[in-house]
Amino acid sequence: MGRTTNGAGKRTKGNARNRRIAAIDLFCGVGGLTKGLEKSGIDVKLGVDIDPACEYPYEANNGAAFLLKSVADLDADDLVSNVRGAGYTLLAGCAPCQPFSSYQQKLGPSDERWHLLGHFGRLAKELDPDFITMENVPNLARQSVFKKFVAQLEALDFHVTYEVVNCAEFGVPQQRQRLVLLASKLGPIALLRTKAKPKTVRQAIGDLPPIDAGEAYDSDPLHQASELSELNMRRIRASVPGGTWRDWKKELVADCHKRETGKTYPSVYGRMKWDEPAPTMTTQYFGFGNGRFGHPEQDRAISLREGAILQSFPKSYKFVRSGEPIYCKTIGRLIGNAVPVKLAEAIGKSIVAHVESHSGPQKRAA
């Protein structure tokens, strides 16, 4: 169940307007959120990120420009020209989730990324958009920095709603829990649902050409799988879809899992199931030992391309220039950190439908 809060004021920018929504994507990464918003009909004009590795994939696959700059150093003057003349404006983004992830409990306010959400709120005040959307890990909702962010938006007269969703509900072939926030100055807004069945691993990647561990497919260098040691090759051959290392013979079990502290971590060194959504794609999904990232039947971890598809990127999405070297750790990080495209598309469609429902004269009441 989501939570909705109401802004106290009234939007007074006029009545009937053109329905074009222009957007800016903060913390844009390689463009998962931008691509989904574009597919929904929203005109994303600019993506902002501090990571130079994001620039090529962002601009090569999307119609927006890329600005290499920290959000902490942005002000409205950097942004306003990109959305001038639009009927409606959207400020979107996914602040780095690592400080709030359950996998990184030691991180906190001492991590500089912790405070980036505050800069998001500052920019919302300076730019004065019609809509805000933000996606992040569920744990963020329990943090004071998020509660402060919501309060900032309410003080700016936004109607705010947020909830934790499973991305599989929105056509992402992956079990991924994410916090989604929507805010509007038009009135209450909600994330639209469909009744589509969850997409499975087989439906997503079952038609990709088979490859071996350590091999790349000639026609798509991103369809490459990490090498496996002799021991890990024996382990994956002993693994069944949906199983765990507990199914192995004793000599295959890692020493850390033989200790009491390691026995509670079964979701590593596992194969995916063909006919279910994939597990959550992390930034290290290309490693067999890093989670249940073994291919359902081939003796290897899933490829970089397969991970991108399971994040619902189009199969043709470009991550590196032709002929440039592919670094698994870099590409894996960029893909694992991305907003799933299908979730972003659902967010965009929800905003577009919201505008449609408030179009026409005298329909901008709080």
| Whole-structure pTM value | 0.90
Q: Give the domains, in start order, of the chain with CATH numbers.
A: 3-10+19-196+339-357 (3.40.50.150), 201-336 (3.90.120.10)
Place 260 in a pLDDT band, splitting at 50, 70 and 90: low
pLDDT computed for residue 104 by the predictor? 47
Q: Checking phi first, is residue 242 left (phi over 0); if not, alpha (psi -120 to 50) or beta? A: left
> pLDDT, tens digit, for every residue of 139-175?
999 988 999 999 999 999 999 999 999 999 999 999 9
Total H helices, total E strands in the chain: 11, 10
pLDDT computed for residue 245 by the predictor? 84
> pLDDT, tens digit, for every residue of 110-141?
445 557 898 999 999 999 999 999 999 999 99
pLDDT computed for residue 192 by the predictor? 95
> pLDDT, tens digit, for every residue of 2-39?
666 665 444 444 445 788 999 999 999 999 999 999 99
Q: Quote the crossing angle between the two packed helices 341-357 and 32-40, to the nearest 10°.
A: 40
CA distances from 357 to 38, 138, 143 (A): 20, 29, 33
pLDDT computed for residue 261 by the predictor? 54
Range 193-212 average pLDDT:
94
Place 257 in a pLDDT band, splitting at 50, 70 and 90: confident
Would you call 97 a catalytic residue per the annotation? yes
Six-digit token pair at 287? 């490693």
pLDDT mean across residues, the chain: 88
Range 89-111 average pLDDT:
62
Range 210-237 average pLDDT:
96
- Of the candidates 97, 167, 256, 328, the residue annotated as catalytic is 97
Taking the C-alpha atoms of residue 240 and residue 172, their distance in angstroms, rounded to an integer, is 23
Has residue 108 got a pLDDT over 80? no
Q: Checking phi first, is residue 128 left (phi over 0); if not, alpha (psi -120 to 50) or beta? A: left
pLDDT computed for residue 360 by the predictor? 59
